[in-house]
Structure 1
Amino acid sequence: MTQDQTGAAVKVSGSLIAAIECGRVVPQPDTAERLDAFFGTGDEIQRAADAAREDAQAPWLRPWTENERRALLLRAFQPNVVPGLLQTEAYTRAVLRGARLPEEAVERTTQVRKDRQAATVDRPEPPMLTAVLGENVLHCGPPNVLKGQLEHLIVVGHRDRVQVLVVPSAVGFHPGLAVPFVLATLPGGARAGYLDDQLRGRVVTDPADLSGLELAWEIVTGLALPVDQSRDLIVKAVEEHD
């Protein structure tokens, strides 16, 4: 069968089948399930896809993605870019290319980020997610990509379990500027944190370190605009690109 014929049979494009065959893309769970059904391979393709997604993650990221999947509450602060769980695919690619990553790494990391979104904010019973952004986030990025990203923030911000807050640039220096971070509240009340730096991410479980992140969170949320005013600021930034 040709790639186009196979794609038509499982409701995807022939180009996606080509990307899967070449190893550039890992099929999403629903696509892998349809491929297994079509070829009569049981769950072989699904298991291979799950293994490939796991291998695609950096080793230091894997413990955190498990926390994301289990979390009841996620609190994220990002002073310069949209948090990964709320990024559009185009925005993710732009951020990664801005970091001068090889195209193969861009494709692999974009797929991992999409998988993380599917396992958290897009799952049937998602965690409560509060994302606090620095105002600079609303103005940083290629205009054609940034507009779509900001529109996406407005849409997801209307979900019952997502809040998007913005810290105005006028507030000046504050503890959150040191490094982006995420706090996860897990079943049973356990907590974990995640710090993102220039080289790699770091999972935080030490109580003293978590208390420091909790303090930083209280400060940045206190400086942030309320949800409605934050949304108005995002809408204004979208209108600047019209």
Structure 2
Amino acid sequence: MADGRTTAAAFLVAELRRARVRRGWSQDELARAVNYSASMVSAVELGQQAPTTKYLELADRALDTDGLFTRMLTDLVSLDRAQPWLRGWRAILEQARAVRWYEPRYVPGLFQTEAYARAVFEAGALLDPDEVDRRLTDRMDRQQILHAERPPHIVAVLDEAVLRRRVGEPKVMCDQAMHLVRVATEHPRVRMHVVPRSAGEYPALGGQFALATLPDGTELAYLDCQVRGQELDRPEDLLRLQRVWEVTLGEALPPQESIELMREVAESWS
């Protein structure tokens, strides 16, 4: 649902489920017919996973629907900006095979220590303690993505101000900077860069963004703000952010120099 109305994507998913039921098949039986896992069939029907063109072609063949669902994806869902399987940054991270992530304000959530994350949520006393605890638990749980069987390749670029701006006590900042060093040196699928203060002004300072590549090659962008996150998939928006990313990466220090800077900042907080 989006603004109380059924989206084209939600309609496709509902009709796909109805077609299976009319056939008298369980999710397991459809899974065998299309040569996908039952968990994939379930995820599609729950709106948690985007059905690919190949998946729908096989479903059309198995359910004898004469290409109906493939046409719906091509002719209707591609025009729909509120697809139900785009359910926020966590869902995107769980699906992505590669992520390019820029942050000018805070350490990226995937790399935050618990103490740093708590300080972020407690800032200004805007959230009650229960909400702080809920958000903290969610953020720490989300970090399990880094330890999945096949975690995404992540290239993160941080502005040096992220390391220099105090969040919590100095010890929190020292521990956080050293945690970044450990992630950058020990995690085989994470590469980290820092844009030094000497770089001056550059286009990405306008705000945080991330570019995620999904297994089928689809690319999405995610912007975070005070109220809610925003997902983008319009080609012109993606092209703009890709250009900003390339310029920003060109301003950043190489990985080893970035790690040395993070160590230096950690010492300054100790």
Which TM-score applies when normalising by structure 2?
A: 0.65
Computing the radius of gyration from Cα coordinates, the structure with the larger value is: 2
1:146 matched to 2:173? The reply is yes
Where does residue 177 of structure 1 map in the other structure? Answer: 205
Where does residue 240 of structure 1 map in the other structure? Answer: 268
Give me the whole-angstrom Cα distance separating, in 1, the residues matched to 2:203 and 2:135: 29
Give me the whole-angstrom Cα distance separating, in 2, the residues matched to 1:62 and 1:186: 14
In the TM superposition, residue 122 of structure 1 has moved relative to its aligned partner by 2.0
Q: Kindly report which structure 2 residues correspond to 1:3-18, keeping only aligned pairs within 5 A, or say none.
A: none
User: 3-state DSSP class of the match of 2:253?
Assistant: coil
Give me the whole-angstrom Cα distance separating, in 1, the residues matched to 2:89 and 2:158: 21
User: 3-state DSSP class of the match of 2:222?
Assistant: strand
Give me the whole-angstrom Cα distance separating, in 2, the residues matched to 1:169 and 1:106: 32
Amino acid at match of 2:146: V
1:103 to 125, 129, 154: 129
1:157 matched to 2:188? The reply is no
1:223 matched to 2:251? The reply is yes
Where does residue 194 of structure 2 map in the other structure? Answer: 166
1:64 matched to 2:89? The reply is yes
Give me the whole-angstrom Cα distance separating, in 1, the residues matched to 2:129 and 2:139: 15
User: 3-state DSSP class of the match of 1:166?
Assistant: strand
Q: Deviations over 1:179-207 (max 9, x none)?
A: 10111011121101100112111011111
In the TM superposition, residue 126 of structure 1 has moved relative to its aligned partner by 0.9
Where does residue 73 of structure 1 map in the other structure? Answer: 98
User: 3-state DSSP class of the match of 1:80?
Assistant: coil
Give me the whole-angstrom Cα distance separating, in 1, the residues matched to 2:180 and 2:149: 19
Q: Report if the CA contact (8 A) 2:88-2:229 is conserved.
A: no
Q: Note the residue ranges of structure 2 that are not aligned, 5 or more in a row.
A: 1-83
Q: Kindly report which structure 2 residues correspond to 1:173-212, keeping only aligned pairs within 5 A, or say none.
A: 173-212=201-240
Q: Deviations over 1:85-140 (max 9, x none)?
A: 1111111011111153222221111111112211x212122111111000011111
Amino acid at match of 1:121: L
Q: Deviations over 1:16-38 (max 9, x none)?
A: xxxxxxxxxxxxxxxxxxxxxxx
Amino acid at match of 2:95: R
Alpha-carbon spacing, 1:101–1:148, altered in 2? closer, same or farther (3 Å): same
User: 3-state DSSP class of the match of 2:216?
Assistant: helix
Amino acid at match of 2:253: L
Give me the whole-angstrom Cα distance separating, in 1, the residues matched to 2:149 and 2:217: 21
Give me the whole-angstrom Cα distance separating, in 1, the residues matched to 2:174 and 2:87: 31
Q: Note the residue ranges of structure 1 that are not aligned, 5 or more in a row.
A: 1-58
RMSD, matched Cα: 1.7
After the TM superposition, which parts of structure 1 deviate over 6 Å for at least 4 consecutive aligned residues? none
Amino acid at match of 1:208: E
Which TM-score applies when normalising by structure 1?
A: 0.72
